[in-house]
Structure 1
Amino acid sequence: MAVDPEFVEHVLDLFLGLGPLRTGRMFSGVAVYAEEDAMFAMISSSQTVYMKSDAATLPAFEAAGAEPFTYTRSSGERQVTSLMSLPESAMDDASEALDWARLSMGPARAAAAKKRAEKARKAARKAAKA
């Protein structure tokens, strides 16, 4: 099931205060990026918005009643606590949604930096072999 384009637009409107945003495919949903490559949110095909989280931000999400992204594999259900649901109250409150987005930017920046470093290491190894 694809993500409703109108829902994607609504979510992007909620996060406008972060500056320029872009989207990309992620699983059967849509990834939302700020600052070029910092993926701070994901919109699932079930129209749930998940925010990037880490050990430092997880308690705030849990206190707000957020749930982790969950999917099923042949080995059973898996929970991904690095993606926590946007609290329902923020879905109609751009100010609150923006607060959650700003909280998610720390983990998103860290993940983007790690990904860039890994790409650089791979490129360096490839260049060394050439």
Structure 2
Amino acid sequence: MDTASILDLFAAFGPVSVRRMFGGHGIYRDGVMFALEAEGEIYAKADGETEGAFRAAGSAPFAYDTKDGRHVVMSYWRLPDEALEDPDALKHWAELALAAARRGKKR
């Protein structure tokens, strides 16, 4: 997914910025990274308050294997399919992700 596609996807949410990172993209609002794109999938930040909602929507966390054989699971969860099809749903999930990212930044 390219930068223009990501910006278009999040248009209903408001202004975001996109930065290339690790073969994907970090997605930011007001300087806070709240989502990432990897291999064409969008993952949104989750925490203890929001993880259950992502799980209930059938989402799964972003995970990868390191060169030394470790399996790393991150606190970013794949956006539910509804968010990719409905701007209002995307806005809802993005707001949850931004709130989680802000809570994490305060810690």
The answer to whether the aligner puts 1:106 opposite 2:99 as a matched pair is yes
Hey, which of these two has a bigger chunk of strand by percent? 2
Q: State the AA in 1 paired with 2:34.
A: F
Gaps (5+ residues) in structure 1?
115-130
Q: Alpha-carbon deviation of 1:111?
A: 3.4
**Structure 1 ranges of 4+ moved more than 6 A:** none
Alignment of 1:1-130 (within 5 A): 4-5=1-2, 8-35=3-30, 37-44=31-38, 46-73=39-66, 74-80=68-74, 82-114=75-107
In the superposition, relative to structure 1, how do residues 11 and 25 fare at CA in structure 2: closer, same or farther (>3 Å)? Answer: closer
Conservation of the 8 A alpha-carbon contact between 1:26 and 1:42? no
Q: Which has the higher contact order (CA 8 A, sep 6+)?
A: 2
Conservation of the 8 A alpha-carbon contact between 2:79 and 2:93? yes
If you compute each CA radius of gyration, which structure gives the higher value, 1 or 2? 1
Hey, which of these two has a bigger chunk of helix by percent? 1
Let me know the Cα RMSD of the aligned residues: 1.6
Q: State the AA in 1 paired with 2:61.
A: P
TM-score computed with the length of structure 1 as normaliser: 0.73
Gaps (5+ residues) in structure 2?
none
SS of the counterpart of 1:32? strand
**In the aligned structure 1, how far is the partner of 2:32 from the partner of 2:13?**
11
TM-score computed with the length of structure 2 as normaliser: 0.87
Count how many residue pairs are aligned between Structure 1 and Structure 2: 106
